[in-house]
Amino acid sequence: MMPMGFMYRGRLARVLTAGLVLTVVCGVTAAADEAPRTVVDEPGLTGAAKLHRKAGDDIHFAFDAHGLAGKAHGTFGFSHYGGNVGAGGGYATGRIDCLLSGGAVAVATGVITRTDIAGWAGWRVGFTVDAGTHPQRLGYSWAAGGDPASMDVAPCLSSAPIETVEDGGFTVAPFDPGL
């Protein structure tokens, strides 16, 4: 049988070692999370994701957007099937007309050019993506009203990112205007 003091010192050494390892791992992880992002010449928002919904709705968003403010260009698309969507769901695609980013957050708007939902074509809709959270988050301008056709928004205007990403993800190119 080992003396009690030896067992205590052995247990203490294991606890201290575990604490040191945890501190080093957490410190490295925190340092990696706080690593500066490369600032780019223009904002960007790319990627595709499925949103999480408890009811099991099938909701997807995709973006390929580049450029600053009113000089932005690119495409967006979204679809929503299941849940409380009229007639079983629908999709829309369009062209980006405004994009801003700061850090890991981007706000974009675009005009719907193609859709299978009557009345949606021609409306400007907005999107907000927070790619710096885990899980990532996404918001859209019709979150409060429910129907994109009911809320034609101004350029680069959207809602808070209230939805969470379940699968896939987005990349935001952070832009610094040098103010």
Mean pLDDT computed over every residue of the chain = 80
pLDDT exceeds cutoff 50 at 5: no
Measure the CA–CA gap between 129 and 91, rounded to whole angstroms: 19
Predicted confidence (pLDDT) at residue 24 exceeds the cutoff of 60: no
Identify any residues that bridge with 62 across adjacent strands, giving them in sequence order. 48, 77
Tell whether the model's pLDDT for residue 76 goes beyond 50: yes
For residue 15, pLDDT beyond 50: no
Count of CB atoms situated within 10 Å of the CB of 125: 24
Region of poorest pLDDT, from 7-16, 53-62, 94-103, 141-150? 7-16
Residue-wise pLDDT for 84-143, tens only, equals: 666 678 899 999 999 999 999 999 999 999 998 888 899 999 999 999 999 999 999 988
CA angle in degrees (0–180, nearest 5) for 176-65-177: 10
Give the closest residue to 162 by CA, choosing from 142, 135, 147, 140.
Answer: 140
Instruction: Give the predicted TM-score (pTM) of the model.
Output: 0.74
Exposed / middle / buried, residue 93 (Cβ in 10 Å: 0-12, 13-18, 19+): middle
Q: Is the pLDDT of residue 80 over 50?
A: yes
